[in-house]
Amino acid sequence: MARSPRIAVIGSANTDLTTFADTFPRAGETIFGNSFDLGFGGKGANQAVAARLCGAEVMMIAKVGADLFGEATVKNFASFGIDTTHVRIVEGVSSGVAPIFVEPNGQNRIIVVKGANDTLKPADVDAAADALRGADTIVLQFEIPLETIYYAVQFARKHKIRCIVNPAPALPANLEHLFAADYFIPNETEAEVITGMPVHSVDDAKKCAGELLSRGFSKVVLTLGARGSLVASSQGMELMAPFAVNPKDTTGAGDAFIGSFSVFLGEGIAEKEALSRANLYAALSTQRVGTQKSFPARPEFKAEWARRGGKP
Ligand code: RIB
């Protein structure tokens, strides 16, 4: 395509405080961890950075606190060349933070304290409306108020902007307000919480995706970690195979998937190939520690895609 895709992320920004340990304490117990990492995170911010690293023009609509983390977050966006015109600093509330605990196999547990993210309201979407109308794709997650997400989905529909909703972390939501999204992309846990159906296998994932379609979504992608991703629509379902890697830290892999997929699709790459590329981009992100700092830049991704012949 002639120009880079324009991606707008309306979402969260957190500071990630990640502890790596062999085990985790029981109530009343103190144990020693192995190492610690401080980094920029938040599902929205991570998706914005992934999209930027993949080559898109990216604008972020977000709120941070008037504290050290907030100021550093704005600088971090700017260092990637992400448009921060609509990232506001708010008084009287902390920035979003996320204590994260990672096991030796790379599996993570996260507690998010939303702080300023919870003050991002529909009025903030309106304040950014002129800029948003120029976007090709609006990307949303669940770390900001649901009313803002519902509003942004309707905004995208009204202005014929592609809309991707990543319901992360899992929350009971009024799905009717989300049906207008072009893509609904939960992981297994999120899909389970939303449908009440277990997702322990690819067959379970197919049943769950079918349920989401029957409820009213037009296109569902279930991200399945090491099993790849499943795309489902009225045209049928297809499992997009995973790429083999040795994961060190899976935190942010879902965000890497969403951010990169929005760009590949925005570049006009056919949907299935865009999903397969996003599978690889997400897999590569698990080979390094942290979230944003684990995401590969486009040349690294391109070389890896070529080295593997574009095949899992
Ligand atoms: O998806 C990973 C992200 O979840 C982390 O960066 C953390 O901030 C939480 O939002």
Q: Does residue 30 lie in a domain region? A: no
pLDDT at 217: 98
Tell me the average pLDDT across 129-152. 98
Sign of torsion, CA 41 45 50 53?
negative
Q: Determine the pLDDT at residue 238.
A: 98
pLDDT at res. 75: 98
- How far apart CA 15 and CA 73 sit, in angstroms, is 8
Asked if residue 1 has pLDDT above 70, the reply is no
14 in contact with ligand 1, CB cutoff 6 A:
yes
- Report residue 301: phi and psi, to 5°: -60, -45
Q: Is the dihedral of CA 147, 130, 10, 90 positive or negative?
A: negative
CA 241 to ligand 1 centroid distance, Å: 24
Task: Write down the pLDDT at residue 94.
Answer: 98
1 Cα to the center of ligand 1, angstroms: 31
> Does residue 312 lie in a domain region?
no
Over the stretch 200-256, which tens digit does the pLDDT of each residue have? 999 999 999 999 999 999 999 999 999 999 999 999 999 999 999 999 889 999 999
Mean pLDDT of 139-149: 98
CA of 190 to the centre of ligand 1 (A): 14
Question: Quick one: pLDDT at residue 98?
Answer: 96
Strand order of the sheet with strand 137-141? 83-90, 57-65, 6-10, 137-141, 162-166, 183-184, 219-223, 229-233, 236-240
Q: What is the pLDDT of residue 210?
A: 98
- List Cα–Cα distances, 204 to 57, 214, 224, 236, in angstroms: 37, 15, 11, 15
pLDDT of residue 181: 98
Residue 203 located in a structural domain: yes
Residue type, 163: C
Element (H, E) at 49: helix 43-53
Q: Which residue is closest in CA terms to ligand 1's atom 1? A: 252
**pLDDT single digits (tens) 257-275:** 999 999 999 999 999 999 9
Are 112 and 100 spatial neighbours (Cβ–Cβ below 8 Å)? no
Domains in the chain, number: 1
Which atom of ligand 1 is found nearest the CA of 97?
A: 8
* pLDDT value for 180: 98
Asked if residue 192 belongs to a domain, the reply is: yes
Q: How far, in Å, from the CA of 219 to the mean position of ligand 1?
A: 24
Classify 228 in phi/psi space as left (phi over 0), alpha (psi -120 to 50) or beta.
left
What is the tens place of the pLDDT at every residue in 278-289? 999 999 999 998
Q: Is residue 214 domain-resident?
A: yes
Pocket-testing residue among 38, 43, 288, ligand 1, by greatest number of atoms within 8 A of Cβ: 43
- Residue 143 alpha carbon, nearest atom of ligand 1: 10
The answer to whether 95 touches 116, Cβ cutoff 8 Å, is yes
Q: Give the pLDDT score at 2.
A: 56
In a domain, 264, yes or no: yes
Q: Per DSSP, what are the bridge partners of residue 10?
A: 61, 140
What confidence tens digit (pLDDT) does each residue in 149-203 have? 999 999 999 999 999 999 999 999 999 999 999 999 999 999 999 999 999 999 9
Confidence of residue 105 (pLDDT cuts 50, 70, 90): confident
Around 95, how many Cα atoms within 13 Å sit in the side-chain half-sphere?
Answer: 27
- Is the Cβ atom of 119 under 6 angstroms away from ligand 1? no
User: Which ligand 1 atom sits closest to the C-alpha of 168?
Assistant: 1
Q: Give the model confidence (pLDDT) of 45-89 as tens digits.
A: 999 999 999 999 999 999 999 999 999 999 999 999 999 999 999
Protein residue with least CA distance to atom 6, ligand 1 = 41
Q: CB-based contacts of 127: which residues, under 8 Å, 6+ apart? A: 86
Domain enclosing residue 57, as ranges = 6-23+36-297
Domain-embedded: residue 242: yes
Give the confidence band of 141 by pLDDT, cuts at 50, 70, 90: very high
Q: Could you give the C-alpha distances from 55 to 61, 257, 292, in angstroms and in order?
A: 19, 14, 15
| Residue 251, ligand 1, Cβ within 6 A | yes
Tell me, yes or no, if 255 is annotated catalytic. Answer: yes
Measure the CA–CA gap between 38 and 76, rounded to whole angstroms.
Answer: 13
pLDDT at residue 108 in the model: 87
Ligand 1: centre distance to CA 308 (Å):
29
CATH number of the domain within which 156 lies: 3.40.1190.20
The pLDDT of residue 310 is 93
**Which is more confidently placed, 32 or 2?**
32
Q: Is residue 306 part of a domain?
A: no
Q: What does the angle CA 121 – CA 14 – CA 116 come to, to the nearest 5 degrees? A: 35
